[in-house]
Amino acid sequence: MTPSSTRRTPALAAVSQGKLPLVPFSSPAGGQFVTHTGAPILVSLANKAISFDCQITYPDRPRLKNFTALYFFVDLQNQQSPSEQIKCPPDLGNENQTHTLRCLVTPRLPNASATGTYYCSVVWPDFQKISKGVFILVRDMGYRRPPQGSQQLLLFCFTGVLTVLSILVTALLLWRKKRMQAPQKHPAQKGSDLSAHSQQQPPDESVYMALQHRDTEIVQVSVCGCPRE
């Protein structure tokens, strides 16, 4: 729906410029609401279709039947996008009753920069209503399998590490087994071997005993006065 009046109002001026303020204009009459009917947070991949509903409620009054439904979003840097018009189905309700329209919004999500809070806005000739907003997280891409070459390289590296570890463990086990099988002498047996070796080899005479024996011979020769045979 589009306003039939050609009078320039603040709301219509904002629409013509492609942007709408986040602060709604004051409404001269109550009973107008713009709300969301879905989840407050949505997640989507880039260039994938995702939709949310905006519900417009207003009383049956002639001047409220002409309005423009729009949507816009505010990104993570608090920058507002231009407004785009929403196509709403006609209301087939009876007269003198409150009208409720459900407008489907399918925003364009080209890349991750489209992440932000999306608002629905309804502009009447002399005032405007804005919804609370729904946050849409846009991801550039989903899960991607690594290239085939990377998979083979990781497989070879993993196999090599396992091979080296198995060789080291095998060598350690063999060394430990060989050490355990080697004959070990008991301390008592070692002591007996040393004592037997000492008995087989007589102890050498000390230098002092040898000199004492030599002095005794010299004294004997001098007493006898004759050479020793």
Query: Structurally, how many domains does the chain consist of?
Result: 1
pTM of model > 0.95: no
- Location of structure tokens 């949310």: 52
Radius of gyration of the chain measured on its C-alpha atoms: 52
Does residue 87 sit within a domain? yes
* CA 164 – CA 82 distance, rounded (Å): 62
Closest C-alpha to 67, from 22, 25, 115: 25
Going by their DSSP bridges, the two strands 134-139 and 41-45 should be labelled as parallel
Does residue 228 sit within a domain? no
Does residue 153 sit within a domain? no
The CATH number of whichever domain residue 103 belongs to comes to 2.60.40.10
Closest C-alpha to 138, from 117, 165, 161, 168: 117
β-strand partners of 71: 84, 120
* CA 164 – CA 186 distance, rounded (Å): 38
* CA 140 – CA 20 distance, rounded (Å): 28
Q: Output the pLDDT for position 209.
A: 64
Does residue 165 sit within a domain? no
What's the gap between Cα 46 and its chain centre? 21
- Location of structure tokens 């939709």: 51
Does residue 144 sit within a domain? no
Residue partners of 148: CB distance under 8 A and separation at least 6: none
Does residue 102 sit within a domain? yes
Does residue 155 sit within a domain? no
Which tokens is 135 given?
């946050």
* CA 82 – CA 117 distance, rounded (Å): 13
Closest C-alpha to 41, from 107, 115, 91: 115
Q: Which domain holds residue 75?
A: 10-139
* CA 11 – CA 19 distance, rounded (Å): 10
Does residue 173 sit within a domain? no
Going by their DSSP bridges, the two strands 52-58 and 33-36 should be labelled as antiparallel
Q: Output the pLDDT for position 27.
A: 44
Residue partners of 177: CB distance under 8 A and separation at least 6: none
Q: Output the pLDDT for position 212.
A: 62
| Cβ neighbour number for residue 191 with a 10 Å cutoff | 10
Per-residue pLDDT of the chain (229 residues; tens, 9 = 90+): 433 333 334 444 454 455 555 544 444 456 788 998 889 999 999 999 899 999 999 888 888 888 899 999 999 999 999 999 998 887 766 666 788 889 999 999 999 999 999 999 999 888 899 999 999 999 987 666 666 677 788 888 989 999 999 999 999 999 988 888 876 655 555 555 555 555 555 555 555 566 566 555 555 545 455 554 4
